Every structure is written in structure tokens, then in C-alpha cells.
Structure 1
């Protein structure tokens, strides 16, 4: 079997597919990935071939959060170029493949390419909130002015609005390309992308599908890439020099220019040291004090087991890695599914959900105060024991049987 794994997004979107790819390869299958060029070198070092799609994305993390949004014409050109690139690149990458697995709702072209080739297409979500349900609201598209749904919100109307917006944004572009391939028009773009049999690659303890009797959603568990890399000597030395520090990392999201100082002040307010991940925003701290260490890409699985708490943006991968380590969490959500993960961390009692938006030293200090309580750490360790690590293997076997 030849499998194409396709996504457009940050490392949190790509890494689960890499885990699935390695699981498939271990079972003797041939795997290719179609992902942004930022990740090509890393994936090819693992022995998996890559077809890069679109421009590098890393620069988006360094853009100012208050930068002016694109004009309507710029946005139209951007979307048109994205769809064209997807149809051309994914079609080429899928040549000779027997199935396509797509992750993230930006997979505009992949299901149509699979349909034209006459092969199966599987959509994988990393969070329940991505999939329509009467039990939860759609993801929060903050760049479009959305805010987290109120407790008494009409969920059916929110999902209907989400479907209309998806079709309004992508429908004409998608159907123009489908017409060129001799395919019929699509009325419900979101349903076309998600399919009527989506997979939910999320841990059943952290993020269970709200209707376990639903036969339409297959939940194999989170696709976790086993990381065997040692920690750098400077990190080991820092960890050994005192009590467990607080880890701060915000992945690929944009960050306020003063976030580095906010981080340091909140850690010091609790008498703690800080490890700060630069991330795509190139975070830094204002001084070179011995109680702070700024690092680059790191083995989270090894590091999180040795920190006092993990403060992060609420990506699915980071949330799962922190939960698996048994470290208390503070989630500072900004957009999309991050609000869901913040609520789950809070509801499970394994950490604290910070209010959406940019944190202040005072707000982050208060959030850490709760997360550092002994009962939270005890609960985090209990939940860690329930998190499964075989999701990619389960999914790989299911895919082979498709």
C-alpha cells in the first residue's frame, strides 16, 4: 500500500502525521508526506519522502500580533493561490498512491484529488471541537472576530454559521477546480473536507468524542511521535542546578513583544526559575540572569517530566505531551482548538485555563498559583497514567484494512 499523508500547518499539525507515517512504515507500507517546506529536512532525516507544499510558514510567528490584516483583494489572491497550489502539488504527490490521509480543515484539494483518482480519502482531526456535534461549539476563528461560545449559545446555529462561512470562503474556488477535473460541484465544503466518517486522533481520556456510541467517528487515540533525543547539556545542567523550573512555550503562534518579561516576572513571583522556548515568535528575556534559560527545539517528552509546570498556548500536541508527562499545565489559548484544550485541562483538574488573549505578569502569576498546588500535580500524575501512546499504531492498522 502507498499512502499519502497531507497537511498544511505548524509542527503541531505535521508531527502526528509523521508518527502515523512511521507506524505505517513499520508495518511494511510505503509512505509519502505532503507538508510545508519548514519540515522537509527533519522528516527526510527520518527516512520518509516529502513533497513540500506552499511557502515556509515560520515567518508568520514573527509577525506582530497587531499587524494590519490583508485587504480583501490580497486575501482573495492568497486563497486563490493556496487552492491552486494544493490541487497541483497534492495531485503530483498522490500519483501511484492507494489512499490519502488529510489533517486540518485547510485540506481543500485532497478529497477532490482522491475522488478524481478513485481512491479512499480519510480526514483526521486532532481535537473533537473540529468535528460538528450538538455537544460542543465550533473552533474559535479569532482572526475573523470570533470569541469562545457562551454557555447558553445555540450550538446548532453556531455550526450552521460555520458551515456557511466555510462554503462562502472556499466554495467557488473549490468548484472551479473540480469542474476542471470533471467532478460535480460541492455544496457543503466543510462536510466535503471532513467526510462523513472522520477520524479523531486525540486521546480518549483528554479529549473523548462526546457521543461514544456514534459509529461515524473513529477515535484511535493521539498520534504521538516517540522522541528519543537526549536533552542538550546546557538544559541538563540548568535542570540539575535547582528545583524544577517552569517551562514556557507558545509554539508557532504570534506573541506580544513583552511576553518574555511577563514570563520571567510570573516565574520569579513564585520563586521559580524559567525555561523559555524561543518558538516561531523568537521569544527572548530581557536579562541574562542565571534563573532563566532560553532554548530552541527540544524533546518535550523528556523535558516535561522534569519541570514544575508547563505554560503553553494549548496546541493538541503540547497539551497531550504535558498530560503524558504528569506536569501541571497553564493554557493561554489564542485561537481555534486551543480554547477547547484550555477548558479540558481545567475540567480535568490537571492545570489552569488562563483567560484568552495576551497574559500579564499578574494574570500569569495567578494562573501559576493554582497550577502549582499539590493536588493539581497529584491529579496530573493520575491522568498521565491513563493517556495511551499507541494511537498511531491503532490508526495504521485500521488504515491498512481500509
Structure 2
């Protein structure tokens, strides 16, 4: 999802032969439009119902509806906020502040129409496609505080987080901001989405504290078929996530799709084998978690690397993210309920840095342009560090302010009863 459509300079380091013609296009391309329309639906499919079912199955039965409600509400909130100014602050010229934030000329999209183009696709389609990325990012954070956060606090946190974390970071990377000027590569959101969400989920888990009973009380997923169904939807939807980020129906999209699939497969098998060797049996939860790790880790690299690079990145994701889960949960006893940080955060960091390696032509990638591998890895690392610090700082500030103003957690008794009844006066399973 590189913002080559608004900055022709990015063509120099993306290294894709078709991008110059796309960047200068003045006529509608129906093939590209059809593909991005499809990709937009696929990315929204990742949140509703993919991530919703994946997360809902992982929690206990008394909290299943609360997670579904959170994903739905975040989708609605971010959609309206996107129209009200988020899109404009990311993808318009910010004048003297352009390196850090965009402008306000497209607040509520006053001049959008059927003939309004972004590159060679309708601006309405580009607007919608980018919106789906903004939706899923705060929804990922839900896994860090599942089963214990007030609904009102969750919704307020998600809104402020989108404004203070997602908007500036997205502008820096995809809106011709200062990281884009340095030449950072993030094809579909390893930095913009997975690093921001993963770091923020970790901070949220630390600020809220552990669920009652953690880590001594077992809290297994209540519905594994639901988890696997959601995971399968994530896998399919991720093709829109990554391949759609080419913003064209071309070879770049095809390669991104291939790389995505290879990495997901490699991550899933690697995680499964590690579990099998360590614990004697491969688990269904393990193989689907490895798949998600593979998907998240390849995201920043998907349009820049070849199949072999994707295979190495996928295997690496399975190893690194598996042990990250063990360290976070068992050694540090941090209750990141659904492993958002060790899977998405760590995966995003690893994939973003490895992009600087496997994008090189010598490693089978599309090339680094005029940059050396050392320079590119340095830029990738700088971006990861800066974005991680920014995400952690503002997540912490938002959470502490909200805790003072409205409180973050439900009471201990309410947590025991479950959020479905306490917050929504509904139950997912009437026979329980």
C-alpha cells in the first residue's frame, strides 16, 4: 500500500516497472478498479467476520459476545472517523508540516465524485481500501485486553488511539511523511499496522493488569471450531490485505499473493513442528497461530520479496513468534490475552527488518534501488524503533487519562460473571 500515487519519488526505490505509468495515470483503469474493490471487501472480511470469530473463539464462553461487539463497534467508529478527518490527515498535503502530518482539505470528502481519481482508480475506492486497514488495526489490540475492559473505555481508547497513533504513523510511512522520505519499505502494514497494534496491545495489557486467576488458572479457548473458521477467513482475507496493496491488478499483486501464501504455510508448519517436538502433540491452536504469525511477518515484505525470501521469513516467524509467546506468558507472566504482541508485534518487527534483506535482488527480491542492504536495514530498524516508542508512549498516556476519567476495568465480581451479561445483558450460549 505504498503511497506511490501521491509521490512519484517513491517509484525510485520501489523498483516496480509498472509504477511510473500508474503514478501518472489520468484515466480510469477498470481492471485495477475491480481488483481493489475486491481487495477492499477481502480486508473488511478479515475483521468482520474473520478476526471477530478468531478472537471470540479464543476467549471464554462468558465473554464471546463482548469480543464480537468490540470488533463491530470499532468498525463503525473508525469508518465515521475516517470520513471526518483521518483520511485527510494521512493522504493530503500538510504544507510546512507535511513530513509529520497531512492537511484538512478532504475532511468529509467535499469534492469526491465519480470522476475523482487516485492514480487510475476512483478515489472513493482508494478511500475505502485504506479505511479497512484503519479499521482492523485497533481491532487487533482487542486481543491484548480481552475479557476485562469496559466497553465504553474500549471505544474511547480506540478512537483516541486511531487519531494519535495510527494517523501520524500511517502518514509518515504511506502519506509521504519523513519515513517515506528516508525510503522505508512497508508494502502492506508491518510497521503501520502490526508494530503499532502489537506494541499498544502490550502496553494495554500491562496497564490493565492480568485477568483474575492468570496465570495459575487455565483459560483455554472455549470454541476451537470458531477459532479455525476465523483463522481461515483471515488467511483468505489477507490476500486482499497484501496483494491489494499493489493498487493494481499486475505482477506485483500476484507476487505479493504468492509470498503471503508461502509465508503463512511455512509459519503454520514451523509452529506445529516446534509444538510437536516440545510437547509431544501438534495442536490445532498452534498451527493456526503459526499461520497468523506467518501472515503478519510477511506483510511489510510481501510486494518486495520473492518466494524463497517469503519461505525464509515464514519459517523465521514460526520460530521467533512461538518463543516470544512462551517468554511473554510464562517468563514475564504478562496477560496479553490473545498474544497480540508476541504474534503481531514481534512478527511485524521481524518482517519489517527482514524486508531490508530479502528485497535485495541478490536475495531474489525486486531490488533496493540506489540503497545498499545495510542502509535499508538501518532505515527499517529506525522506523520500527520510532514507531514502537510512539505507539507505547501515546497508548500509555491515553490509557492513564481514561483510567482517571472513566476507569478502564470492570470490577472483579463483574469479570467473574463475564462481560456478555454485565456489559451487554446477553449471552452467547443460552444452554450454559
TM-score greater than 0.5 by the shorter chain: no
Question: Which protein is richer in strand relative to its size?
Answer: 1
TM-score interval for Structure 1 and Structure 2 normalised by the shorter chain:
under 0.3
Question: Which protein is richer in helix relative to its size?
Answer: 2
TM-score, normalising length: structure 2: 0.24
